[in-house]
Each structure stands twice: as C-alpha cells, then as structure tokens.
Structure 1
Amino acid sequence: MILIIDDDIAVRTSLHLLLENEGYETIEADTPESAINRVQQHDLSLIILDLNFSIETSGKEGMELLQRIKKIAPSIPVILITGWGTIDLAVRGMKLGASDFINKPWENSHLLQSVETLLDLKEKKKEQHSRKQLDNLYNFQHIIGEDPKMLALLEAIGRVADTDASVLIMGESGTGKELIAEAIHQNSKRRNKPFVKVNLGGISTSLFESEMFGHVRGSFTDARFDRIGRFEMANKGTIFLDEIGDLDASSQVKLLRVLQDRTYEVLGSSRTKTVDVRVVCATNRNLEEMVARGTFREDLLYRINLITVKLPALRERPKDIPHLVDFFLKNMKEIYNRPALSVTKDAAKWLQQLPLPGNIRQLKNLVERTVLVSRGDELDVDDFRTQYDQMPMKKETMQLPGVGLLTLEEVEVEMIKRAMAYHKNKIAKAAVALGLTRSALYRRLEKYNLPYDETSD
C-alpha cells in the first residue's frame, strides 16, 4: 500500500489515479497529523510526501514530517515531491532518509519508474548463495571469483540488477568495474536494449554537451553534421558513466539536470528531449572526500548512489588469483596457439603473495608478458618473477615522501615524469601504468606543462 501525503486534493487524486491504473493500492493524507496516523495504522510499502502544507514554500513542514516518519518506520522508502524544489532542499531530504526527490509537475513515467524501483528494492531479500547457485540465478559468466567478498558483491548486484536503481561502483583501478556494470545490464530488464559506455575522463569540457547530448549541424565551428549524443544512444537501455570522479564542475551541473529530470537539449536546438535510461557510474576516487573538498557536487552524489557497491582489491582476495590466471591462460592458449600452457603450483602460490597494485589488469599483463617471453609451456616462479621485476610499479618498492615534504600535485607530476621516461614517452603505455586513460594523461601533461611528443604513439 502506498501513502500519498499532500494538502492539494487535485494532486492526491492525480497520483491516486496514476498509481491505481498501474495496480497499486493507495491511501491519502492531507495534513502531517493524519499522515502520522496512517503510518501508525497501516502496513505501508512506500510513501509519497509533499514538502509544503501552507503558503510557505521552504519545505520546512515536509522535512519535519519526514523526520517523524523515519522515527516511526525507518525502512519505508519515501519519495519527496514539491513544486518549489531546490538543489539544497533535495540534498537535505536525502540526508534525512528520503529515497528520491521529484519536482512538480512530474513526468508520469519518471515517477512510476521511481516507485517501481524502490518497491523492488524493498522486496528483495538478502540471501547467501554459493558461486554455483549464483551462476544458475544470474548471468555472471565473465566475472571470475569465489572469495566471500566477491560472492557478497555478486549477491548484491544480482538483487538490484532487475530494478532501475542507479548504481555507483567504487574500486581501485583495474578491479573490473566495467565488467560489473555490464553484468548489471545483462541481468536487468533492459538487457536487450543498448549498453552505452562513456569514459568521462576522456571527454574535454568543451565537448561534453556535444558528446553526451548531441548537436545539430551548424551549432558550432566544424559541426557539419547532426550528431546523436550518448544519452539518446542509450535510450531504453543502460548508460555506464566511467571515471565520474574526473568530471569538472560545469559538466557536473549539466549531467545532474538530465539525471534529475530525465530531460536534455541537443546542442544548438531549443527542443527539450526526454530519455529513459538506467544509470550506472564508476570511479576509483573517494567521492565523499571530494564533496567535502568542494570538487564534487553533493546533490550529484546523492543522485547516482541509490545503491553503492565496492569492488575489493585483488590483494584482498588472493585465493581468486589462481582462478584468474587459469581464465587468462585459457584465452591465451587459443590466441597464441599454445594449447599446452600451464602454471606450476609453486608459481600459483607465488603469484598469490604479490601486492599487485594494478589489480586484475596488472595480473593479466604479467601473465600475458610471461606467456609471450617464455619458451616453455609450463610457467614457473622464475618465469613470472623475471617479468614482474621489469614492471614499472611494484608496491613493495614504492617509497612515499614524508607528510609535508611534497603536495599531491607534486607527487602526481613526479609519477607522470617517471612513467613517461620508463615507457620512452609512449602515451598509451604510460597511461596504463598510471591507471589513466590516454585523454586523462594528455590533460595532465598539458596542465603541468610537461613535454611530450604527439606522434610518439
């Protein structure tokens, strides 16, 4: 049962008819006190709460009522609606426990999508399955891992995949965030619709609107043809926004609007378009720290992280390393036509002891390099050790400066210089070693005025 709380009978009636037509049972309340009575007397699944009950438009009454409701029934999801919405109001509501914030007049499809998502999430029960059981329930064939941390993560994404909840995937570089995003899409109701990947770290500020929302011919210099944006490409499907922590402040504002209202304008056109997408984001940065520093918008963080999953680093699940090595070898047997490839037990144990700061990406690189260089088909400890010692970044040899001796910017500059020198100014290789995209490395080289050869790649 859904409780609709609004002092305007026209709004209550409109919401009642909309929800009833979708098969939902509703009850109504027009004052804070009657709303509290309904919460105490009925078994509710969800609440839609208006923030204003008088001429005042500050939302104060609604916020106070939200706090009272959360004390009585903390597990019931609440959608806030208001005709006087502000960014600050949305953030305050989310901090107090609201699950979503929708402005009046609302888009029916958007509101119904939010209702369905929150009800689905509420009904999903937490269970513990073995890896075999998970594989029978979901399509996780490309994700390797049997460590309890990975099983818990797969359990979590399996539960939320079939909803339209926004998901934020956090984890170090090389942990497989893109694979998790693809698994969420493949196990969702949108699996037969587009899955569009966007590396936000590789899009410059000047091209952000054109890349994301498209442009019409003549909208700017060199715009010779109409261009379809990434959001339009992903319509009805899933859009994966990778490296969202690299987004600059002005682009964050533009992204927030489309995530908030599901509307956008093509560059050079005044016509507003609507979009229906499931949003999955990923980052290797601590967004909460960035919010505290003022480099990432708090309202955008609340909009993208209805569900947050954190990928464990490879060093936190060493028992999965032999499984990953076997998976890589299986592929390399076919790629390099070496069907007899194998790894000794000693080598497998030795690989489990490595810190591997580059995670799965570094492990795959190490295995592939060893396969390519080794003459024999049975790979032993010495084969891997030789290649590992040649890697540019090994955690056990990393010496960090004392606190106060260098700023983060100075450390970043020094690491970029070392990576470029080691890889003889090869941008692509240096970028991989630093855990960056080529575009992100180019931006840093320009930012710090570091020399590079544009023809080196």
Structure 2
Amino acid sequence: MILIIDDDVAVRASLQLLLQGEGFATCEAADPDEALRMLAEPALALVLLDLNFSIETSGDEGMALLERIRAARPGLPVILVTGWGTIDLAVKGMKLGASDFINKPWENSHLLQSVRTLIDLKAKPEAPIGRRELDRRYQFGHIVGEDPQMLTLLETVGRVADTDAPVLIMGESGTGKELIAEAVHQNSRRRGKPFVKVNLGGISTSLFESEMFGHVRGSFTDARFDRVGRFETAHKGTIFLDEIGDLDASSQVKLLRVLQDRTYEVLGSSRTRTVDVRVVCATNRNLEEMVARGTFREDLLYRINLITLRLPALRERPKDIPLLVDFFLGNLKEIYGRPGLSVTREAARWLQGLPLPGNIRQLKNLVERTVLVSRGDALDVADFKSQYDASPVKSGTVQLPGVGTLTLEEVEVEMIRRALAFHKGRIAKAAVALGLTRSALYRRLEKYNLPYDEAAD
C-alpha cells in the first residue's frame, strides 16, 4: 500500500488514480497528524510526501514530517513531491533519508518508475546462493569468480538489475567495473535496447554538450553535420558513465539536469527533449571525499548512487586468481592456436601471492605476455616470474615524479606523447599500450591539443 500525503485534494485524487490504475493499493492523508496515524498500517510499502501544508513554501513542514516518518518506520521508502523544489531542498531531503525527489508537475512514467524501483528494492534479499544457482538465474557468463564477496555482489546485481535504480560501481582500476555495468544491463528489462558506454575522463569540457546531448549543423565552428548525442543513442536503454569522478564542475551541472529532469537540449537547438535511460556510473575515486573537498557535487552524488556496488580488489579474493588464469588461457588457446596451454599448480599458487595493483587487467596482461614468450605449453613459476620482473607495473617499482613536480594532467600528456613516439604515431597501438580505446585516446588528443597524424594509423 502507498500512502499519499498532500494537503491538496486534487493532487491526492490524481495520484490515487494513477497508482490504482497500475495496480497499487493507496491511502491518503491531508496533514501531518493524519499521516502519522496511518504509519501504523502494516501493509504500507511506500510514502509520497508533499513538503508544504500551508502557504509556507520553505519545505520545513515536510522535512519535519520526514524525520518523524523515518523515526517511526526506518525502512519505509519516502519519495518527496513538491512544486517548490530546489537542489538544496533535494539534498537536504536525501540527507534526512528520502529515497527520491520529484517536482510537480510530475511526469507519470518517471513517478511510476521511481515507485516500482523503490518497492522492488525494499524486498528482502534471499539467503546467500552459490555460483551455479546465480548462473542459472542470471546472465553472468563473462564474470569469473567464486569468492564470497563476489557472489554477494553478483546476487545484488541480479536483484537490482530489473529495477531502474541508478547504480554507482566503485572499485580500483582493473577490477572489472565495465563488466558489472554490462551485467546490470543484460539482466534488466532494457536488455534488448542500447547499452552506451561513455568514458567521461576522455571528454573535454568544450566538447561535453556535443558528445552527450548532440548538436545541430552550424551550432559552432566545424559543426558541419547534425550529431546525435550519447543520451539520445541510449534512449530506452542504459547509459554507462565511466570515470564520473573525472568530470569537471561545469559538466557536472549539465549532467545533473538530465539525470534529475530527464530532459536536455541539443546544442544549437532551443527545443527541450525528454529521455528515458537507466544510468550506471563507475569510478575509482572516493566521491564522498571529493564532495567534502568541494570537487564533486553532493546533489549529483545523491542522484547517481541509490545502489552502490563496491568491487573488491583482486588481492582481496586470491582464490579467484587461478579461475581467472584458466579463463584467460581458454581464450589464448584459440587466439594463438596452442590447445595444450596449461599452468602448473606451483605457478598458480605463486600468482596468488602477487599484490597485482593493476588487478584483473594486470593479471590478464601478465598471462598473455607469458604465453607469447614461453617456448613450452606448461607455464611454470619461472615463466611468469621473468615477465613479472620485466613489467614496470611491479608493486613499488614504478618510477613516478615527486609530489608537486607535475600535475596529473601533465603526467597523462607525457605518457600519451611517449606512447605515440614509441609506436611511431599509430593511434591504435598507442591506445592499447595506454589501456584506452581509440576513441578515448582521440578525445584526449583533442582535449590536450596534441598533434597526431591520422595517416600514420
């Protein structure tokens, strides 16, 4: 049952018709006292709460009631609904425990989506289940792991995937955040629609609006053709915003609007467009610390992290390392035509003891390099150790400039220049060496105004 709390009888009637038409039972309250009496209803699953019950428009009345609701029913989801919404009010409400914030007049599909998502998420998780049962229920074919931490995470992924809840994936570089984002999409109702990946770290401030929202011909210099933005491409599907912690302040504001209102404007056009997307974000940064430092917007953080998935580092699940090595070997057997490839038991144990700061990406690179240079098919400790010792990513051996000597951008520019010089200007090879896609490298070249020769590729 859904409790509608609003002093306007017309609003209550409108919400009741909408919700009952979708099969939800409802009850209503016109003031805080009546609302508090109705909290005793055991079947109550969610509250829609107006923030003002008089001519006062500060929202204080609703916030006070929200606190009392949270005290009486801590686990009850509350959606704030107001005609006088501001960003500061939304953040205040989220801090007090509200689950979502919707402005009047609301969009029916948006409100219903939020209601369904929160009710689905409120369902109690089952007892821990094994990997075989997870694979039977969900599509996790490309995710390797049987560590209890991973099984718990995958169970959460499967449970929240079918909702439209925004998901924030956190973890160190190389832990597989993109694979988890794809799993969220593939196990959702949107699986037949687009899954659009966006590396926000590779988009310059000047190109952000064009990349994300598109542009019309003539909207700026060199805009010779209309361009479809990433959000339009992802309509009805899922958009994966990787490296969201790298987004600059002005771009954060522009992103917040589309996530909050589901609307945007194509660069060079005044027509407002509506978009329906599931948003999944990822970062290897600590966004809470960035909020405290003032480098990441608090309201944007609340908008993207209804569900937070924290991926464990590979060193935290060493028992999965032999499984990952076997998975990589299975692919390399076909790629290099060496069906007899195997890893000795001693080598598997040795690999489990490595710190691997680059996580799964570093392990995959180490296995492939070892396969390429080894003469025999049975890979032993010596084979892996020779390649590990030759790697510049060994723990504690990376030579970095002193703190304060160079900025992070200057280090990135220097590494891009070195990669291009080493690979004689070939973009594809330089991108692989830097761990980037070609398009991500091109965006960084434009961002830093670095020269390159397209003919060399």
Structure 2 equivalent of residue 337 of structure 1: 337
CA distance in 1, matches of 2:103, 2:354: 51
Aligned-pair distance for 1:222?
1.8
| 1:384 partner letter | F
| 1:134 partner letter | L
Structure 2 equivalent of residue 211 of structure 1: 211
8 Å contact from structure 2 (residues 202, 444) kept in 1: no
CA distance in 2, matches of 1:443, 1:161: 31
Per-residue deviation, residues 266-303 of structure 1 (Å, max 9, x unmatched): 11111111111111000111111111111110000000
Structure 2 equivalent of residue 257 of structure 1: 257
Decide whether aligned partners of structure 1 residues 273 and 200 sit closer, same or farther in structure 2, where only a CA change above 3 A counts.
Answer: same
Gaps in structure 1 of 5+ consecutive residues: none
Aligned-pair distance for 1:230?
0.9
Q: TM-score, normalised by structure 1?
A: 0.92
CA distance in 2, matches of 1:58, 1:323: 57
| 2:63 partner letter | M
CA distance in 2, matches of 1:310, 1:13: 41
| 1:363 partner letter | L
User: Structure 1 residue runs of 4+, over 6 Å off?
Assistant: 427-449, 451-457
8 Å contact from structure 1 (residues 3, 26) kept in 2: yes
CA distance in 2, matches of 1:249, 1:412: 16
For the residue of structure 2 that corresponds to 1:253, the secondary structure is helix
CA distance in 2, matches of 1:241, 1:124: 29
CA distance in 2, matches of 1:274, 1:446: 30
Alignment of 1:257-406 (within 5 A): 257-397=257-397, 406=403
Per-residue deviation, residues 373-404 of structure 1 (Å, max 9, x unmatched): 11111111111111111111211435889xxx
Structure 2 equivalent of residue 99 of structure 1: 99
CA distance in 2, matches of 1:58, 1:183: 42
CA distance in 2, matches of 1:226, 1:424: 34
Per-residue deviation, residues 50-73 of structure 1 (Å, max 9, x unmatched): 011111111101000000000000
The answer on 1:10 being equivalent to 2:10 is yes
| 1:342 partner letter | S
Decide whether aligned partners of structure 1 residues 97 and 432 sit closer, same or farther in structure 2, where only a CA change above 3 A counts.
Answer: farther
| 1:158 partner letter | G
Structure 2 equivalent of residue 30 of structure 1: 30
Structure 1 equivalent of residue 50 of structure 2: 50
CA distance in 2, matches of 1:312, 1:267: 40
Which moves more between the two structures, 423-432 or 151-160? 423-432
Aligned-pair distance for 1:128?
0.5
Decide whether aligned partners of structure 1 residues 231 and 137 sit closer, same or farther in structure 2, where only a CA change above 3 A counts.
Answer: same
8 Å contact from structure 2 (residues 117, 163) kept in 1: yes
Alignment of 1:367-446 (within 5 A): 367-397=367-397, 406-407=403-404
8 Å contact from structure 1 (residues 420, 430) kept in 2: no
Decide whether aligned partners of structure 1 residues 409 and 29 sit closer, same or farther in structure 2, where only a CA change above 3 A counts.
Answer: farther
Structural RMSD (CA): 2.6
Q: TM-score, normalised by structure 2?
A: 0.92
Decide whether aligned partners of structure 1 residues 279 and 391 sit closer, same or farther in structure 2, where only a CA change above 3 A counts.
Answer: same
Decide whether aligned partners of structure 1 residues 249 and 263 sit closer, same or farther in structure 2, where only a CA change above 3 A counts.
Answer: same
Structure 1 equivalent of residue 138 of structure 2: 138
CA distance in 1, matches of 2:82, 2:93: 11
Aligned-pair distance for 1:351?
0.8
Decide whether aligned partners of structure 1 residues 98 and 196 sit closer, same or farther in structure 2, where only a CA change above 3 A counts.
Answer: same
Aligned-pair distance for 1:261?
0.8
Structure 2 equivalent of residue 66 of structure 1: 66
The answer on 1:240 being equivalent to 2:240 is yes
Decide whether aligned partners of structure 1 residues 420 and 349 sit closer, same or farther in structure 2, where only a CA change above 3 A counts.
Answer: farther
CA distance in 1, matches of 2:405, 2:31: 53
Decide whether aligned partners of structure 1 residues 438 and 249 sit closer, same or farther in structure 2, where only a CA change above 3 A counts.
Answer: farther
Aligned-pair distance for 1:428?
7.3
Give the share of equivalent positions with the same residue, in percent: 76
CA distance in 2, matches of 1:422, 1:32: 64
8 Å contact from structure 1 (residues 82, 102) kept in 2: yes
Per-residue deviation, residues 297-325 of structure 1 (Å, max 9, x unmatched): 00000000000001111111111111001
Structure 1 equivalent of residue 82 of structure 2: 82
Gaps in structure 2 of 5+ consecutive residues: none
Structure 2 equivalent of residue 40 of structure 1: 40
Aligned-pair distance for 1:127?
2.5
| 1:89 partner letter | L
Decide whether aligned partners of structure 1 residues 254 and 213 sit closer, same or farther in structure 2, where only a CA change above 3 A counts.
Answer: same
Per-residue deviation, residues 162-183 of structure 1 (Å, max 9, x unmatched): 1111000001111110000000
CA distance in 1, matches of 2:310, 2:17: 40
Aligned-pair distance for 1:220?
1.5
